Amino acid sequence: MSLTAATTSTTGTAATITRIPGPPGLPLVGSLLDLTRRPLRTYLDARRDYGDVVRFAAGPPGLRAEFYAVFSPEGAHQVLGSEAANFRKDNSFYDELRTSLGNGLLTSQDGDYHRQRRLIQPLFTRRRVDGYAEAVGQECAVLADRWRVVPGGVVDVAEEMSRFALRTVSRILFGADVEAAVRVVHHSFPVLGEFVLERGFAPVKVPRGWPTPANRRAAGAQRDLYAVCDRIIAERAVRRAAGVADSAGPDDLLELLTRARGEDGERLDAAELRDQVLIFLLAGHETTATSLAFALFLLAKHPEQRRRAREEADAVLAGRAPVAADLEALPYLTQVLKEAMRLYPAASQMGRRSVAESVIDGYVVPAGAQVILAPWVTHRHPDHWEQPDRFDPDRFLPEREKERHRYAWYPFGGGPRACIGQHFSMLESVLALGALLRDFDFEAVDRGVRLGQGITLQVRSPMRVRLTPRG
Ligand code: HEM
């Protein structure tokens, strides 16, 4: 249903709508506050009220920035997949992200991007990723040892999973122990995330060099993160100079990047190396942590699904550390994780800018448009999901998955810029979920959580569960 009269015209054979409907917003700022303070609620309401393509205007009259949100699976397919070349990472969010986190694999484009992807891809082949399972198992054991002695047995799963995922990815990609940096990383990424989101929607941006409180906070967070990355790189250089072998192997990410040569035969300089480390610290830990935390929390709240998950974990992982081959033997846990990612996709929104005019779901989206995709909304789209708010891992039974549009569920994005860490993340999360369910009983202490939006989905209130060691 559309609340705004749409203007219809005919180009070629298909009828297209040139005036895209959307909320009027407030007289002075349009939809700016809704988009920055409660984007997910705003998108959900917009789809319900205006349909699958919605136009938002943000900012004061005369200075309004326009955004086009696309909610249908077919629209997501077009933007990320079939017409990916027309939708570039030139939008205001990626521009801001690039300024905050540098030109790494997530943010780069064109020649830089292709060189980086060729260089880094070998670390993410199936075989290579399967080799990371041992480190995942060891990190699970470290976590379980810590949990067994937690006073009162209550832990915050969002914090715990964040630490676990950060330790795991740093160990695998950088051969580094980041325990000392956990606090810095957890504080700094959310600060930068909010800053990027605010500026991404802002119709007029205060120059970053001006000493406003927001600029100063963001600059401080960036400095702290740079220091973490520089330390990781420096420690490796010291170990290399001393001839000490690394636990992550001789060709982990840091090693590949250090040896890499550009087209001109030059090495990556210190800043380029740091950009990649920073991007992988962000992309490789926050997202996996969120998915895993929600999977555990949902199971803690749903006894029947927990029982099924635990039976599977007990049958497959009894008395031993998980290995990569276990992934196939844990189909129910995989379903649980997919359902957690449906309800709480860590990349709950992503953006692009169109190069040329295109027609999406019958709407004409102009050239140069800022396009927003929101898995948060598509994953709850009532045309594609029955009772979308219900936690039901059986939605991901293979026969039911086959019937669904490929982009009805796309937590890892899609097309040529789909997530490089997808298989690693699934392996890590499913094995960790299995090992933790085998070792502990979980019961939710908090009933709900408050969510926020930064670069990724943020948990802004305690997410506690009570643990009881088993066996
Ligand atoms: C549940 C876990 C994860 C989720 C939900 C997730 C989500 C995503 C999404 C949606 C994109 C595409 C962004 C866009 O198109 O604008 C992406 C790209 C990317 N992800 Fe992930 N990710 C996860 C785990 C990981 C891990 C574990 C790593 C690395 C170890 C990683 C590294 C990256 C990188 C480097 C890119 C850019 C790839 C490219 O453009 O070639 N991600 N991720």
Residue 418 CA: nearest ligand 1 atom is: 12
396 lines ligand 1 (CB under 6 A): no
Residue 279 CA: nearest ligand 1 atom is: 35
pLDDT at 250: 57
Residues 48, 368: Cα–Cα separation, whole Å: 26
The pLDDT tens digits of the residues spanning 322-333 come to: 999 999 999 999
For ligand 1, atom 37: residue with the closest CA: 106
| For residue 174, pLDDT beyond 90 | no
For ligand 1, atom 19: residue with the closest CA: 419
Distance 285 CA to ligand 1 centre (A): 10
Residues 18, 365: Cα–Cα separation, whole Å: 8
413 lines ligand 1 (CB under 6 A): yes
HSE value, Cβ hemisphere, 13 Å, CA-based, for 207: 3
Question: Which residue in 411, 405, 415, 413 sits closest to 429, CA to CA?
Answer: 411
pLDDT at 241: 80
105 lines ligand 1 (CB under 6 A): yes
Distance 205 CA to ligand 1 centre (A): 27
Residue 165 CA: nearest ligand 1 atom is: 27
Q: State ipTM.
A: 0.99
276 lines ligand 1 (CB under 6 A): no
CATH topology of domain 8-469: Cytochrome p450 (1.10.630)
Contact 293, 463 (CB under 8 A): yes
420 lines ligand 1 (CB under 6 A): yes
pLDDT top residue among 151 and 345 = 345
Residues 40, 21: Cα–Cα separation, whole Å: 18
* Mean local confidence (pLDDT), 153-168: 95
- β strands within 305-434, DSSP E: 350-354, 358-360, 363-365, 370-373
Distance 456 CA to ligand 1 centre (A): 11
pLDDT at 245: 57
pLDDT at 262: 61
pLDDT at 223: 94
* Mean local confidence (pLDDT), 334-346: 98
Distance 394 CA to ligand 1 centre (A): 25
Domain range summary for the chain, segments of one domain joined by +: 8-469
Contact 178, 163 (CB under 8 A): no
pLDDT top residue among 3 and 101 = 101
Distance 347 CA to ligand 1 centre (A): 8
What 3-state DSSP class applies to 271? helix
284 lines ligand 1 (CB under 6 A): yes
The pLDDT tens digits of the residues spanning 207-260 come to: 999 999 999 999 999 999 999 999 888 888 888 787 765 545 557 888 888 877
Contacts of 344 (CB under 8 A, 6+ apart): 290, 291, 294, 451, 457
Residues 40, 345: Cα–Cα separation, whole Å: 11
Question: Which residue in 211, 101, 124 sits closest to 173, CA to CA?
Answer: 124
Most confident of 88-102, 224-238, 260-274: 88-102
Confidence of residue 8 (pLDDT cuts 50, 70, 90): very low
91 lines ligand 1 (CB under 6 A): no
For ligand 1, atom 42: residue with the closest CA: 421
The pLDDT tens digits of the residues spanning 398-455 come to: 999 999 999 999 999 999 999 999 999 999 999 999 999 999 999 999 989 999 988 8
* Mean local confidence (pLDDT), 59-70: 92
Residues 29, 19: Cα–Cα separation, whole Å: 21
21 lines ligand 1 (CB under 6 A): no
Confidence of residue 9 (pLDDT cuts 50, 70, 90): very low
Residues 95, 350: Cα–Cα separation, whole Å: 13
71 lines ligand 1 (CB under 6 A): no
